[in-house]
Amino acid sequence: MRVQLLSEAQGEGFVPPSSGDFELPPIFGENALTTKPIFLLFLSVILISAFFILASRKAAVVPSKLQFAGESVYGFVRNGLARDVIGHEFLRFVPYLFTLFTFILVNNVFGIVPLLQFPTMSRISFPYILALSVYLVFHYVGIRKQGAFKYFKEIMFMPGVPKAAYILITPLEILTFFVVRPLTLALRLFANMFAGHLLLLVFILGGEHLLQGVIGLKLISPFAFGIGIVLTFFEFMVQCLQAYIFTLLAALYIAGALADEH
Amino acid sequence: MPKSEENAMWSIFGYLLSGLLFWGGFGYGLDKWLDKNYFTLIGLLVGISGAIYLVWLRFGRE
């Protein structure tokens, strides 16, 4: 009986969403360079450039709505992130942090934009490259500011610790600074986008599948769609938050590399 | 969440993870090498204590 039920359930043919749903075929041609995430990436660059060019072109003392919107985003990154975290040298990092923030934000929000509906950052290569750029920037900044020897010495040997303790904690400092930090930076962004997209797929594809079932199931499907809609708003929050956290941590790492004592 | 707390939270997470990975991995290597089975556990405990010590050094000393 149980086996029969199982086979009937399988006969219904609901295919649960899986990681396979993230491996999209090329839109044209036979190579991996024409997949949807790549196009979304280019689209995001075009959208961001167009938005900020338009917003800043006719800059006036009394700003238009567009200029106001553009300046709010810029001001948020400049004052809320760069200045508060990095301190007096913040100005030269604003372009980098601003690019990071808007780029990640737009690519994340693509996850809930109708028709696009795919967060680019749910493919892990993109967060890896972004984290790599942060990694190079903050180590470069630290080495330039303090000199390579002093920089590495301060990472490895914290002052005011008994000598014997260095055996225990120096490997941890090295691992944290050179492996764990960039890796968690990339994985946090990736995993949030991946899980969020999967969650939406479960409820919306599930709702659609219930709609094709018997009448009892049809009545349940609006709840699945309802939860799907609620989760879409939740996802929007997560997408903004992850863009913010990525940029914030990048700023914190830069600030840490600039500071004399870590 | 204030920025300093965000920083502390992720730094602590990073230290704990590195502690477990490094000394746990070291113990695991010893186990494989000497054909024993208790070094992994010792390594994990040493790693987590080291990480907590490091967290205290960095955030608890003020």
Amino acid at A57: R
- Cα–Cα distance measured from residue A132 to residue A183, given in angstroms and rounded to the nearest whole number: 9
In 3D, which of A135, A119, A249 has the Cα closest to residue A191?
A: A119
CA angle (A171, A172, A175) in 5-degree steps: 85
Q: At what angle do helices A94-109 and A215-258 cross, to 10 degrees?
A: 170
Which of B18, B47, B57 faces A176 most closely, judged by CB atoms? B18
Q: Could you say which of A84, A181, A262 has the minimum Cβ distance to residue B14? A: A181
Assign B46 a pLDDT band (cuts: 50, 70, 90): very high
Query: How confident is residue A2, by pLDDT bands cut at 50, 70 and 90?
Result: very low
**Chain A residues within 8 A of B19 when measuring between CB atoms:** 172
Q: Which two tokens stand for residue A128?
A: 């890896």
Cβ atoms of A151 and A174 closer than 8 Å: no
CA distance B46 to chain A (A): 8
Q: Provide the residue count of chain B.
A: 62
A53 touches chain B (CB under 8 A): no
What is the pLDDT confidence band of residue A247, given thresholds at 50, 70 and 90? very high
Distance CA A99, CA A77 (A): 10
Share of chain A above pLDDT 70, in %: 94
pLDDT single digits (tens) A219-242: 888 888 999 999 999 999 999 999
Q: List all residues 6 or more positions away from B59 whose beta carbon is below 8 Å from its beta carbon.
A: B8, B11, B12
The interface predicted TM-score of the complex, written ipTM, equals: 0.84
In the prediction, which pLDDT does A26 show? 82
Query: Which residues of chain B are within 8 Å of residue A179 when distances are taken between CB atoms?
Result: 18
Q: Where in chain A are the domains? A: 12-258
Do the Cβ atoms of B7 and A252 come within 8 Å?
A: yes
DSSP secondary structure of A109-149: HGGGSTTT---GGGSTHHHHHHHHHHHHHHHHHHHHHH-HH
Give the distance from residue B35's alpha carbon to the nearest chain A alpha carbon, in angstroms.
24
pLDDT digits (tens, 9 = 90+) for A110-128: 999 988 889 999 999 999 9
Residue A107 scores a pLDDT above 90 = yes
DSSP for residue A65 = H
Q: Is B13 on the interface with A (CB under 8 A)?
A: yes
Q: What is the pLDDT of residues A57-96, one digit of tens each?
A: 877 777 788 888 889 999 999 998 899 888 888 899 999 9
Query: What CA dihedral angle connects A130, A252, A247 and A52, to 10 degrees?
Result: -110
Return the pLDDT at A184: 92
B61, closest residue in chain A (CA to CA): A160
DSSP A32: G
- pLDDT for residue A22 is more than 90: no
Cα separation, A232 vs A214, in Å, equals 27
- Residues of chain B numbered 18-57 and touching chain A (CB < 8 Å): 18-19, 21-23, 46-47, 49-51, 53-54, 57
Interchain pair B54, A180: CB under 8 A: no
- Rounded to a whole number of angstroms, the distance from the CA of A225 to the nearest CA of chain B is 32
Rounded CA-CA distance A2/A13 in Å is 17
Whether the pLDDT of residue A262 is over 50: the answer is no
Q: Residue A204's closest CA among A6, A16, A9?
A: A16
What pTM was estimated for this model as a whole? Answer: 0.86
* pLDDT computed for residue A260 by the predictor: 61
Q: Could you give the CA distance from residue A104 to residue A120 in angstroms, rounded to a whole number? A: 9
Domain ranges of chain B: 3-60
Residue A10: is its pLDDT beyond 60? Answer: no
Spell out which residues of chain A touch residue B9, defining contact as CB-CB under 8 Å. none
The span from the CA of A171 to the CA of B58, in Å, is: 15
Is pLDDT larger for residue B21 or for residue A21? B21
Look at residue A3 and tell me whether its pLDDT is greater than 70.
no
Chain A residue closest in CA terms to B59: A262
The predicted structure's pLDDT at residue A1: 41
Report in angstroms the alpha-carbon separations of A28 from A10, A24, A34, A126, A216: 34, 12, 6, 21, 42
Mean pLDDT, rounded, of chain A:
87
Does A7 score more than 50 pLDDT? Answer: no
pLDDT of residue A74: 92
Q: What is the Cα–Cα distance from A49 to A41, expressed in whole angstroms?
A: 12
Asked if pLDDT for residue A160 goes beyond 50, the answer is yes
**Residues written for chain A:** 262
